[in-house]
Amino acid sequence: VFISCEMDRRSIGDRLLSRITAINCERISRALVTDDQATQLRDAVSSWTDQPIRIIEASAPTVQQINAWSRADAARHGLDFVVVDHIGLLRPSTRMRNAYESATEIAKDLKSLATSLRMPILALCQLNREGEGEVPKLSMLRDSGAIEENADKVWLLHRQRDQAESEFIVAKFRNGGTGAIPKGMFVFDRDRCMF
């Protein structure tokens, strides 16, 4: 299950199709494809029709809603993995006074959900803006230290805006080591919107 609080299904679908076909994502989203590319896209859509992926567009859902959707999918089709894009757009189940308290409750609720479902939840999170351009670190996670505290693993991506070469940093690994994948081994493909 992929829960998107930011992008619609079509945009996510365009990115998936770009990844599968290697056709420029912008050309797909603007419908500027050749006849051959259109055939490739149709074939790719056909191959994905039976894939067990569900994309849920949700504006400010609570973790309780994510729990209900995940359990429903698990009962119907089985479930292996939940992705939430992103923590900052989730809504706490109770009214909070500030962003710190909200993020803390959401982080704890996501950890509880992952434990009760017995499966990984990949929850994306933005970084604070004051470190823009710097190599990211755990203290830059937006709004709450509870995100780091509750996560089993924290992965950080870093690249300069105009460069493709990127760093993948394992900043926290509850049962393992931390460190960065050497530069040059992780590259951003702007045309296909993927690393």
Cβ contact 41:24 at 8 Å? no
> Which residues are CB-contacts of 134 (< 8 A; sequence separation ≥ 6)?
none
Per-residue pLDDT of the chain (195 residues; tens, 9 = 90+): 999 998 998 999 899 999 999 999 999 999 999 999 999 999 999 888 778 888 999 999 999 999 999 999 999 888 999 999 989 899 988 887 788 888 889 999 999 999 999 999 999 998 887 767 788 888 888 776 888 899 999 999 888 888 888 889 999 999 899 999 877 788 888 888 888
Residue 117 one-letter amino acid? L
pLDDT at 31: 92
pTM given for the model: 0.86
